[in-house]
Structure 1
């Protein structure tokens, strides 16, 4: 396999060095780089690292990817990284653009694991013809005329504008930690080796000149070491993406329905700082007694509580009279202190809050909503570039360390974005620049999950409901279109974070329209299946239906006014029961059919629908057990199923 991989390596090296760098390509969102023809390489280079990997040496310097983007604790910090054969690329989104991707100190880490701590500076002196490093008192020399460790160190380096050749090489390899000496390789052969902070140089005199110096496979060695285990970050924690929101003060009366529905996530709005600390430095935690009893009920149902924190007290307001608006810069330490104590109080039983969201639709301008609004309002229309995002970034930077100190497992959620419009489609769209404003100010380092909202509106037409929002139809609707927008915006700033859609549903467009009498409630059941399967297939952490309590805003509640289940409640309950413990398998879409496959340990579920009134046949698969409509109603079948606008759920024995 090593010979096969080496041959493929040479071919790929030629191809990648010839990769076009036109301005048209540079303007496209970053794409993964995959290696389908290389045996044993099953992962792609994550888009956040592709440009760095190509620009700074590619295969010879970094090698192939060994795994996906992962969250790993390194030297006491949790970082997003990707492992390669020869190095580890680390994402540091808080840094200036040129330094958002950094290399791991692989040489130093490997020496430590081997019990060979970097020695104290030696008594060595500069040698003629070698490069001398005073800091570590080591020489780096060539092993042949114009060939060897010195030339390799001096002629390679990170392509960072503004740095000298020496600084570029130092950024790539670091300082030498040892002298060149013979060391045994894995096969027992003695190889002349010299260790650097970020690399291990090996001298192979029998190779062609360009391959006489090779870099050791430190990525392989460190990643496989039993004392250093990189665990993929799973923000869903084994849960389904099925979630709901319950209005504050409504939880107690809905406890029975909540336990019947069993959603995996419940969004709760929320905890108001202004209620606890109306006077600076004087916290009245008893003011939260009713709120805490509701959060305890949510946790007792088995759902993960996602708690919104908002409500800036008057003494801390950056905009006087605006409780939904930004915290004054000089009061950010006070807010961080409040959050540290709040997280400490609620991180364990009976509350078990691990998800903290800051603000609800913060991309709304302060001037557009009342000061006591439950949504908004960090936006600033006078900020043409970032729409006030820098203020939100400063808040995240203040509270994030305090939260992590109080509970290292806590997840900080970027407040669910309204995303009224798409600035890449409409140049006049100022609010759409809020996210970019946060990221440009370095806010990407201070949240764990990004959230957005995705309502759409009902119509009698048998077509995709997600296309009923004109401002987002060009991106395939609010659910998938806004997801594409936030992911591409993050990628443009070198940020890669999990995403959730934490407020959505199918609504009646006009307050006075007779939507219910015309079929809204049955179609909401259909949309429940569409929304959650699309969300799961798109790798969203979750999707949250607004709301469980009814009748709901614009008739969107899962329950009616008397707390009786509507069809959407029944559909969600059935989907949650059937897909408990499931994983997403693959898309099934073909022709005018849209479909997705999921699997539990004993069952496979194939879910189909059309986005028109035109039906499509689906053959019954081997192992077929039953077919159901959106609410779990059994469907009569023959040799095949005819699938129409209403989703069909096919259950198969595995």
Structure 2
């Protein structure tokens, strides 16, 4: 009996084990409100930096723009920089600010004002409710440096609105709202897409999280030197931890390398 148990144990140890991917972080999901997905590094950044109130709903699937994967949200553009292995928020605030190029609020201050945070990088300051919001909701990585002082303009609803522009966002003051919603972010992602349409396919609704990053996934691996020419089969993902392929199982590292960049598969 003991010999039989030992033999069974040896068979179990030598048998191929299934690959189990760790999906705790970056799990693909879908927003039913817009029928678009969010996954991998983009989801981790989204969740960590404030989520829906800061970025809004996704408006596109991931597609390649200017040589890198991007995804548009109501209030932002996410960019995957494989060479740096990080997500950056696109400079939509700089783009939107160009229509105010001659406004005096964009002239750098000659000296640092009292009772405000001053940024010598751009010569502008941060104070009051906008300062509190900036520091409490992601700061520099999410919003970038201020590009202007606060000033009043006419919003898309033809209402007067106090705003301040940052590299990656536009802050808006809504005093009629409850305190936690008095500072809102402008819909710069929607504005950009209205002026620079995304590929039509990336705007089409999808039905499940399985569609996440579909456009930048490799579908075939060819290594002529060693005679490899095979399809890539999805087997889940492990975010932030390398999985070592066992036996015939193959694992794709979904947000590292992609054609034309450094990285790994």
Select the structure that is richer in helix: 1
2:164 corresponds to which of 181, 184, 194: 194
Q: Is the 8 A contact 1:33 1:47 kept in 2?
A: no
Q: Is the 8 A contact 1:118 1:178 kept in 2?
A: no
Q: Which residue of 1 aligns with 2:28?
A: 32
Q: Which residue of 2 aligns with 1:57?
A: 50
Q: Are residues 1:81 and 2:70 paired?
A: yes
2:62 corresponds to which of 66, 69, 76: 69
Q: Are residues 1:93 and 2:82 paired?
A: yes
Written as runs of structure 1 = structure 2, the 5 A alignment for 1:332-351 is none
Deviation track 1:58-111 (CA, whole Å, cap 9, x = no partner) reads: 0011110001111112xxxx221000011000011111x4xx211101100122
Q: Are residues 1:375 and 2:225 paired?
A: yes
CA shift at 1:432, angstroms? 4.4
Q: Which residue of 2 aligns with 1:116?
A: 101
Gaps of 5+ in 2: 1-19, 203-220, 238-242, 260-265
Q: Which residue of 2 aligns with 1:150?
A: 131
CA shift at 1:156, angstroms? 1.9
Written as runs of structure 1 = structure 2, the 5 A alignment for 1:292-331 is none
CA shift at 1:175, angstroms? 0.9
**Partner SS state of residue 229, structure 1:** coil
Provide the C-alpha distance between the structure 1 equivalents of 2:136 and 2:198, rounded to a whole number of angstroms: 32
Q: Which residue of 1 aligns with 2:7?
A: none
**Partner SS state of residue 53, structure 1:** helix
CA shift at 1:495, angstroms? 3.4
1:206 corresponds to which of 157, 171, 176: 176
Larger of the two Rg values belongs to structure: 1
Q: Is the 8 A contact 1:118 1:177 kept in 2?
A: no
Q: Which residue of 2 aligns with 1:229?
A: 197
Provide the C-alpha distance between the structure 1 equivalents of 2:112 and 2:144, rounded to a whole number of angstroms: 18
CA shift at 1:418, angstroms? 9.3
Provide the C-alpha distance between the structure 2 equivalents of 1:43 and 1:191, rounded to a whole number of angstroms: 31
Q: Is the 8 A contact 1:192 1:202 kept in 2?
A: yes
Deviation track 1:100-149 (CA, whole Å, cap 9, x = no partner) reads: 2111011001223x36379875244322221111222212111xxxxx10
Provide the C-alpha distance between the structure 2 equivalents of 1:229 and 1:126, rounded to a whole number of angstroms: 40
Written as runs of structure 1 = structure 2, the 5 A alignment for 1:379-398 is none
Provide the C-alpha distance between the structure 1 equivalents of 2:245 and 2:108, rounded to a whole number of angstroms: 57
**Partner SS state of residue 54, structure 2:** helix
Provide the C-alpha distance between the structure 2 equivalents of 1:418 and 1:59, rounded to a whole number of angstroms: 36
**Partner SS state of residue 134, structure 2:** helix
Provide the C-alpha distance between the structure 2 equivalents of 1:53 and 1:431, rounded to a whole number of angstroms: 28
Provide the C-alpha distance between the structure 2 equivalents of 1:496 and 1:83, rounded to a whole number of angstroms: 21
Quick one: structure 1 residues 121 and 25, their matched pair in 2 at CA, closer, same or farther if it must change by over 3 Å? farther
Deviation track 1:366-398 (CA, whole Å, cap 9, x = no partner) reads: xxxxxxxx5328xxxxxxxxxxxxxxxxxxxxx
Number of aligned residue pairs: 213
Provide the C-alpha distance between the structure 2 equivalents of 1:79 and 1:117, rounded to a whole number of angstroms: 32
Provide the C-alpha distance between the structure 1 equivalents of 2:37 and 2:115, rounded to a whole number of angstroms: 42
Q: Is the 8 A contact 1:106 1:219 kept in 2?
A: yes
Provide the C-alpha distance between the structure 1 equivalents of 2:200 and 2:27, rounded to a whole number of angstroms: 21
CA shift at 1:208, angstroms? 1.0
Q: Are residues 1:178 and 2:167 paired?
A: no
Provide the C-alpha distance between the structure 2 equivalents of 1:26 and 1:118, rounded to a whole number of angstroms: 51
TM-score normalized with structure 1 length: 0.30
Structure with more contact order per residue of length (Cα contacts < 8 Å, sep ≥ 6)? 2
CA shift at 1:49, angstroms? 1.4
Gaps of 5+ in 1: 1-23, 143-147, 158-168, 235-358, 362-373, 378-414, 425-429, 434-470, 473-480, 499-654
Q: Is the 8 A contact 1:141 1:150 kept in 2?
A: yes
Q: Is the 8 A contact 2:170 2:185 kept in 1?
A: yes
Q: Which residue of 2 aligns with 1:129?
A: 115
Quick one: structure 1 residues 28 and 207, their matched pair in 2 at CA, closer, same or farther if it must change by over 3 Å? closer
**Partner SS state of residue 66, structure 1:** coil
Q: Is the 8 A contact 2:130 2:171 kept in 1?
A: yes
**Partner SS state of residue 80, structure 1:** strand
Q: Is the 8 A contact 1:48 1:496 kept in 2?
A: no
Provide the C-alpha distance between the structure 1 equivalents of 2:22 and 2:152, rounded to a whole number of angstroms: 45
Quick one: structure 1 residues 43 and 54, their matched pair in 2 at CA, closer, same or farther if it must change by over 3 Å? same
Q: Is the 8 A contact 2:57 2:74 kept in 1?
A: yes
Q: Which residue of 1 aligns with 2:262?
A: none
